[in-house]
Structure 1
């Protein structure tokens, strides 16, 4: 079948549904209908031939979910993931986006494809802010159900990609490929709990209608020179939508002197080489450490909370480097923990409480 026929089938299905309800369908419902039509027609001959398109790619991912999965039951994991996927998908459709794929504990969405629209970036930004707002409600419900907190990181990038149906005739998938998609994934990987991080492309195109906080200049795999990432705080304009703050520094902080043996993390891979250092102060959500190794800003480490913390639980923790300064022949680095609800995180909380209040 000709590839254009596949696209015609999708549009015919959507138009038929629109006609049946009187010809007036809000944009968000039209987006949901289009998504459903593509899903129903796959696997089919090509829905549309791959072609270049300027789009905005949004990737939302749960922080530290892999560690959480090691300690939670299957029922608990389903209880955590189901409302997350339901609400993220609903918000993507509500802003005219297209769910490209589910990524284990994350979602990748396209704005500006399959159907072009002039405000795809703004819709993606509004969607991201409301996703983080939705996480507040998700965690309130988790608390009522006795489930751990979960937090999402979001990365957004705007650029030209190839969009269309890819794959053999017996299994085709509508998706986007290209360097800008890969870069969106890199942007997302640097986001902390509750953050929305923008690439420079997205920031420059939207800077008159957003508020930003921290800017990070760093080296990213696949890019020749350093790049700048921007933390979005709010979308402004005709409506103001704020990103809720997940404060990492409000918890009490205690002075400690603990050995630290850690591994660097590259993407999703924990590297084998062990590095040494010491933890100088500690809170529920972060730490200050002195290391022999200088770490780039926003790089991630993995370490094990063990008997040094004098608690009856132990486990792994992941942490992201925020600020670095040289001290003598070492480097003093502040870290934010990127995992919560795990046994490792619980061990830290108990240890801090024990030092503060004399109780486990």
Structure 2
């Protein structure tokens, strides 16, 4: 008797899930498995799964500076580095029973809780994130031995209710999740620094105090009228896992091109003549400027520019020139803020966070 490959694939998936989770496969999961198998084997008809609302933990990981590497490294090196990275990360993800939702260039989205829900989805997601950062450290050792540049990863986690199902048409369809919580996971990831794991407050609350994390900080993200609380995941003591941070900047920084002017201070007097410049990079504590005229290191200046995203004109930031350099025919200067008003400081942080979250 000829074996139906679809029935065989479904049976194998059911057996695997039962073995790995120790749970009986429900009829709802059986229906999803059947649909996924049909899609993978080229089913003759498209029959979308009923939309299902469920709580899922979404892990979003992104390689820092990878796009810049593509401009400086041979294509063969880029392909080798990316494939090694995806292979290593996939091994970690599968070990923690995560489901890879998609690869998008140098980023990936992983699901815990879809299509199969388990009681420890959140803990497995956080452990997976830490293991991925540990794997990146080992991977960089391999890159260096092969005379390839280092790569660094930022990771964001969010837990929330999404709509899960198979979406598409007869030409193409796939199982995935959609909703605001998916977008929020991506926004949280955008705030992570190299080697960092950021988690939403919801994710933190689901772990019942079994992880070590920083106090929550509020960040402004695109699409949200109120700030979102995030924490940095430090360690999971019960599993002897600790995040190997790679970067310890004092704040996030955003690339921009904003016209500004600066006036030199003599003592406490602001000189009237203004020097025109453009802000190329801005953070909570300073800016990188492209200048029309040279300025000396150590000078104190007053900055004037508009933060249009938050509709706020800056007129009370004072800064000191910390360094200058010529680069590609342009005069650049790094400035560190020395004084700014309370309202300006709040608006500045909101401005930087909105820029970071919009990328």
1:244 equivalent in structure 2: 244
**How far apart, in 2, do the equivalents of 1:277 and 1:294 lie?**
11
Displacement of 1:9 in angstroms is 7.5
> 1:88-123 CA deviation, whole Å, 9 max, x = no partner?
111111111101000110110100111111111000
Q: What is the SS of the residue equivalent to 2:122? A: helix
Query: For residues 138 and 57 of structure 1, do their structure 2 counterparts lie closer, same or farther at Cα, with a shift above 3 Å needed?
Result: same
Shift of 1:241: 0.9
Query: In 2 relative to 1, CA 173–194 (structure 1 residues): closer, same or farther, beyond 3 Å?
Result: same
TM-score (ref. length: structure 2): 0.65
> Retained in 2: the 8 A contact 1:88–1:131?
yes
Aligned length: 275
SS of 2:214's equivalent in the other structure is strand
- How many Å apart are 1:49 and its aligned residue? 2.8
CA distance in 2, matches of 1:58, 1:105: 14
The equivalences for 1:205-354 within 5 A come to: 205-206=206-207, 208-213=209-214, 215-237=216-238, 239-248=239-248, 263-264=255-256, 273-274=258-259, 276=277, 288-289=286-287, 292=304, 309-310=325-326, 326-327=339-340
Moved over 2 A (4+): 6-13, 23-28, 37-40, 42-50, 213-216, 247-250, 272-279, 286-296, 308-311, 323-333
Query: SS of the counterpart of 1:309?
Result: strand
Deviation at 1:245, TM superposition (A): 1.9
Query: RMSD of the alignment, in Å?
Result: 3.9
Q: Write the distance in 2 (CA, Å) between the matches of 1:133 and 1:12.
A: 35
Q: TM-score, normalised by structure 1?
A: 0.65
What is the CA-CA distance between 1:13 and the residue it aligns to?
3.9
Which residue of structure 1 aligns with residue 99 of structure 2? 98
State the 1:139 CA deviation: 0.7
Output the CA distance in 1 between the equivalents of 2:64 and 2:196.
10
- Which secondary structure state, in structure 1, belongs to the residue aligned with residue 134 of structure 2? helix
Measure how far apart 1:170 and its partner are. Answer: 2.2
Q: Could you tell me how far apart the structure 2 residues matched to 1:292 and 1:89 are?
A: 48
Contact 2:53 2:161 in 1 (8 A): yes
Give runs of aligned pairs for residues 65-104 of structure 1, distance below 5 A: 65-104=66-105
Mapped contact 1:263–1:273 kept (Cα < 8 A) = no
Q: Is the 8 A contact 1:188 1:197 kept in 2?
A: yes
Post-superposition Cα deviations, 1:124-147, rounded to whole Å, max 9, x if no partner, equal 000000000001011111111111
CA contact (8 A) 2:285 2:337 kept: no
Q: Which moves more between the two structures, 40-49 or 223-232?
A: 40-49
* Pair 1:325–1:309, CA change in 2 (3 A): closer
CA distance in 2, matches of 1:314, 1:155: 38
Partners of 2:89 and 2:329 in 1: CA distance: 32
Deviation digits for residues 251-270 of structure 1, max 9, x if unmatched? xxxxxxxxxxx853xxxxxx
Which one has the largest radius of gyration? 2
> Which secondary structure state, in structure 2, belongs to the residue aligned with residue 209 of structure 1?
coil
2:54 alignment partner in structure 1: 53
**Residues 146/194 of structure 1: CA separation in 2 closer, same or farther (3 Å cut):** same
**1:218–1:228 CA contact under 8 A, matched in 2:** yes
CA distance in 2, matches of 1:241, 1:84: 20
Q: Aligned with 2:209: secondary structure?
A: helix
Displacement of 1:14 after TM fit?
A: 1.7
Closer, same or farther in 2 for the Cα pair 1:39/1:57, shift >3 Å? farther
* In structure 1, distance between residues paired with 2:38 and 2:249: 44
Change in CA separation of 1:243 and 1:149 when aligned onto 2, cut-off 3 Å:
same
**In structure 1, what is the equivalent of residue 195 of structure 2?**
194
Tell me, yes or no, if the aligned pair for 1:43 and 1:172 is still in contact at 8 Å: no
1:112 aligned partner = 113
Q: CA deviation at 1:220?
A: 1.1
> How far did residue 8 of structure 1 move?
7.4
Relative to structure 2, which stretch is displaced further, 150-159 or 75-84? Answer: 75-84
Change (3 A) 1:314 1:102: farther
Structure 1 residues 129, 293: closer, same or farther in 2, change over 3 A? farther
Note the alpha carbon deviations across 1:26-46, whole angstroms, 9 max, x for none. 459x9xxx8xx7597265434
Unaligned runs of 5+ in 2: 26-32, 261-276, 289-302, 310-323, 331-335, 353-359
